[in-house]
Chain A
């Protein structure tokens, strides 16, 4: 719930529709084509809104305009293309976006936003990937144990962990970790970015939500799978419980998990905004929050645009991945 930008329910539903509609190989191609078209429309829409907002919002590269002469101002306006008519600016803006030009910062010596982002993507990406891997792996294990020992004490405990993990905001966890692990006990560094041990606390804080979500999802999915007719068939063959769980249960329960990976990864990106701020990690999120306070709109817009692209492409990749992994979708429909 907390960090999802796309509701998990929405995407799951889309994928479920996808899985049950009659799809042949051609249909899969059409589905992917359709999703790419939607992606382009969406990006175009976001870009247009951003452009309009840029024109509406206060602030210009002439932060210290009164100190400059008329001629100097003219030079800067020319440099930013602000003398062109608005439609021309719009086309230039879209053209720039396609080439990865996200505009120029008002502050930071007027550096291009794309440069600033590429400088800062490393820590953000590292945190995100570490958290996604740890979160999903731990979550899957927790969910499996929970489903297999359904209604037992383990199930009870991991359900509590899952409810806490999905409910309590990550910044609260971050505060707890920072205060106890770093300040009180001094086990790990409090903040900043100076090597792997600096990434441990932010990674854990970020990983808790995906872990809890995966655990809950995996638990329901696995319980559902274990109630399927084909599990009874497998039991009727005389297979042992462990063989049934490993050969027939886990694979079928894991496939739908792919559908929530997209929203989860997107959620992690959002999470980095807050977590990087708390742990002073020099990533994109921290830059974004700083820019919000200093009203550096090109960075805010550029980062937003960048987020939009990352989100949408990630969702697309996961959609396609799902289609490739599930044999029912891979070759034809459910009959």
Chain B
């Protein structure tokens, strides 16, 4: 210590003259809530992947049916239940996307098993290739034969490509799946936006006016919340003509309540905050307080809540279709497609697989997006 003291320049020991300017310098660059949220979302790998997937699905649902050679309702019983066949991928045998159907058959001997295969595959023996797995010893079902049936060739439609195959009525599943996805997304987005508008307006008005208005509005809300969602939805569907709008209305009639509660709670909380009180005392007009202070702070919550209401609507649409209260035939939605798929689960599982995978991916993607947004907008979660 003593040595170092001597090295120091004596000039340094005069009063510094920069206190004023230095004292108020804020050390770290401040970031707004939105900038912070965007930055943390960019870092969230799952969020970005989900965003990308959602974009792909939305684009496919818009353009795939348009670009397709078939329409969602075009029937042709002659080509029903064709297997999935996709150009290029059909040459990669293990993917099973070459349009052929393979199944094993058992019989007392090879011949009996092959007979069974013929029966199953439209008696088109020339288009069936057999592979004997086990010769059998004459005892019941000891012989096993693996039969591969080229239905495209049998029906003389080698030039056609049904990417996801066809359903029982010979409709192109590829077109129907993407069309159905578009319908499901449409229902979900519409329901979410209507929920948002009603919920924000209701909650905002209740919280803004407060007092007796708020009290009555909240009592009413509590009664509505008490009515089970399912009950209302079923009742609504029964009185409305089945269709997209019936489902949207049924979903929104109870859906807005959670948004209303959230918005009201947040606005009430903010109303009591110092910065809003301060703005008031300074004489800022109400319009400005709402635009400057309330909206930006409530925005995050609204976005997150909407993001969660979309998968919930997608699910509910599928659920309604499943219990027979969904879209009437031939309209396709993910729900009706899955419902149809279950009918042929044992013979043609691919009809269930494609819409089921799509709805699952959509639900997962929206939930991850919602989770990501919530974490990004909730300062409590940020460290």
**Does A touch B (CB under 8 Å) in the complex?**
yes
Q: Which residues of A contact B (CB under 8 A)?
A: 1-7, 9-10, 13, 38-39, 41-42, 45-46, 49-50, 53, 56-57, 163-164, 166-169, 171-172, 175, 178-179, 183, 266, 270, 273-274, 277-278, 288-289, 292-293, 297, 300, 304, 307-308, 311-312
Question: What is the CA–CA distance of A13 and B238 in the complex, to the nearest angstrom?
Answer: 32
Partner of A172, one of B308, B323, B349, B359: B359
- Contact present for A57 and B312 (CB under 8 Å): no
- Contact present for A175 and B342 (CB under 8 Å): yes
What does the 1/0 interface line of B361-372 toward A look like (CB < 8 Å)? 001101110010
Chain B residues bordering chain A, tally (CB within 8 A): 44
Query: Which one of B227, B261, B345 has the highest number of Cβ atoms from chain A below 10 Å of its Cβ?
Result: B227
Partner of B360, one of A169, A266, A289: A169
- Beyond A2-B315, A42-B227, A172-B360, is A178–B345 a contact (Cβ under 8 Å)? yes
Question: What is the CA–CA distance of A311 and B231 in the complex, to the nearest angstrom?
Answer: 10
- Contact present for B356 and A172 (CB under 8 Å): yes
Chain A CB within 8 A of B130 CB: no
Partner of B223, one of A38, A266, A278: A38
Chain A CB within 8 A of B346 CB: yes
- Contact present for A168 and B363 (CB under 8 Å): yes
Nearest B-chain residue to A293, judged by Cβ: B324
Question: What is the CA–CA distance of A297 and B363 in the complex, to the nearest angstrom?
Answer: 32
- Beyond A42-B223, A53-B238, A163-B367, is A266–B322 a contact (Cβ under 8 Å)? no
- Contact present for B352 and A175 (CB under 8 Å): yes
- Contact present for B323 and A292 (CB under 8 Å): yes
Chain A CB within 8 A of B300 CB: no
- Contact present for B227 and A308 (CB under 8 Å): yes
Chain A CB within 8 A of B235 CB: yes
Closest chain A CB from B158 CB (angstroms): 30
- Contact present for B239 and A289 (CB under 8 Å): no
Question: What is the CA–CA distance of A296 and B227 in the complex, to the nearest angstrom?
Answer: 23
User: Which residues of B have CB within 8 Å of A39?
Assistant: 226
Nearest B-chain residue to A168, judged by Cβ: B360
Closest chain A CB from B225 CB (angstroms): 6
- Beyond A273-B323, A292-B325, is A308–B315 a contact (Cβ under 8 Å)? no
- Contact present for B227 and A289 (CB under 8 Å): no
Nearest A-chain residue to B233, judged by Cβ: A5
Residue contacts A-B, CB under 8 angstroms, 24 given: A1-B311, A2-B312, A5-B230, A10-B257, A13-B265, A38-B223, A45-B227, A49-B235, A50-B235, A53-B239, A169-B318, A169-B363, A172-B360, A175-B356, A266-B228, A274-B322, A274-B323, A278-B342, A292-B324, A293-B324, A300-B238, A307-B230, A307-B231, A312-B228
